[in-house]
Structure 1
């Protein structure tokens, strides 16, 4: 059976990288969601998922990958098509919970329509971080201890579906990533008084939520993350090996080297 991929794109660099990796993909964007795709795109409305499913099937799409940032859209029930009307009760219920529950339901809905949902790491495995030092001189012993502490915090929060990132310095939690995202977390940490850091720079840890499905909302960093981490004053960035994407590897590495911070992959 011939397989064809569709990229369901949000904003950011990841959809562009996937489109470059899979040039024959059918590129989907959504009304009201900015994107940076350079390929031919096909726009749909969230209220009319029936139109989206029909177009994907007509184009011979068998696999889909979700890529990029996409906030929860405001929905107009008056614009729902018949398919969306049937899905609305489940979607509305899931939207009252955390991101993980909602995204799992989205995967289920696409699978019910006969599509295989792929992860970005399956389409472009070269984007994932491996275990070991990616750049920089490596962590201090304190940084490794802080990374373990951050991982413990993230694992403790996983059951309530909160956070893929955490900053710890000298054993103290300086911030947790919430709905506002990584940049907001690092901006908050940048304003933390030095005396609260126990004379430790600390580390920023980015990881999957425990039990998270790798096929959707896979965490990622890029050069802007590195710049914000440097402004936040951390010693380095620790990423879950195999569970976090590095976007624009060359620019990300250059930014870290310029800032004098390390980036490493680690089993967490």
Structure 2
């Protein structure tokens, strides 16, 4: 039998997708909802407890009380200000060890993983539970990008990777070679809505989303899903390109079907080559 899994849950549908995968595979699990981020209604119907993002020590204790040996982090978490964090002693010590690296999401996440591992817990990747969720290379639906869209994708990959190296966002919108918007603290869907206000005449832009080059794949792996497709269609984009093997595509059928209907391509791109693979 697989060890019990603690799903540390932020917002969005990813934590529930993990819970349902565990239930389907008869793996013991529980959701640890982060207060202010996980939506209570989503957690109903699943075994769950609650924790506070500033009380990492208590979160670790809860996982031990539940006899979970493995941990996966999933869902949106907007990091609070230090004033609102109200850290417990465990978290204070963690922040002190992180030092200046705590100012960036990636550096802080690495220290959180190390702290959990030092407590004897094994932190695993989302893809170890949702094996088929990582985007493959090439078109995921019926439509593929044309040559001008491929140029926008190449430009988007370049800019998004640079953004990731700065430990900032993970997504950009590019139209006709012009970067319309880059992701910051607002998240992808709001960034896409902002790009709609900057849309130029001609073929629509492309949303490009990648993993950070230095990213620990066990933490904050980027996600797209049906809501992303809805936002892209509403903004007048013509397609979505995600890093193959680096971005999770949730509810793939539910995302690709409306994309096809809206005339939107969704494709997996490989940064090394700068282009999606074409279907043979």
> Shared fold by TM > 0.5?
yes
Report whether the alignment pairs 1:243 with 2:246. Answer: yes
Tell me the equivalent position of 1:226. Answer: 229
In 1, Cα distance between equivalents of 2:6 and 2:50: 12
Displacement after TM superposition at 1:223 (Å): 1.2
Unaligned runs of 5+ in 1: none
Q: For the structure 1 residues 84 and 205, does the alpha-carbon distance in structure 2 shift closer, same or farther, using more than 3 Å as the test?
A: closer
CA distance in 2, matches of 1:228, 1:54: 39
CA distance in 1, matches of 2:29, 2:99: 30
1:199-214 matched pairs, under 5 angstroms: 199-214=202-217
CA contact (8 A) 1:46 1:75 kept: no
Aligned residues: 264
Does the Cα contact within 8 Å between 1:91 and 1:102 map onto a contact in 2? yes
Does structure 1 conserve the Cα–Cα contact (< 8 Å) formed by 2:161 and 2:210? no
Is 2:12 the partner of 1:34? Answer: no
TM-score, L = length of structure 2: 0.86
1-structure distance, mates of 2:152, 2:83: 45
Provide, for residues 163-201 of structure 1, a one-character-per-residue CA deviation record: whole Å limited to 9, x for no partner: 211111111111111111111211111111424xxx332
* Alignment-derived partner of residue 10 in structure 1: 10
Deviation at 1:111, TM superposition (A): 1.3
8 A contact 2:33–2:50 mirrored in 1: yes
5 Å-filtered alignment, 1:1-268, equals 3-23=3-23, 24-35=28-39, 36-37=42-43, 38-73=45-80, 80-90=87-97, 93-95=100-102, 97-195=103-201, 199-268=202-271
Structure 2 stretches of 5 or more lacking a match? 272-280
SS of the residue aligned with 1:192? coil
Q: Is the 8 A contact 1:136 1:260 kept in 2?
A: no
Aligned in 2, Cα 1:229/1:2: closer, same or farther, shift over 3 Å? closer
Aligned-residue CA RMSD in angstroms? 2.2
| Structure 2 CA distance for aligned equivalents of residues 193 and 52 of structure 1 | 44
Q: Cα distance 1:43–1:75, how it changes in 2: closer, same or farther (>3 A)?
A: farther
| Offset, 1:94 | 4.2
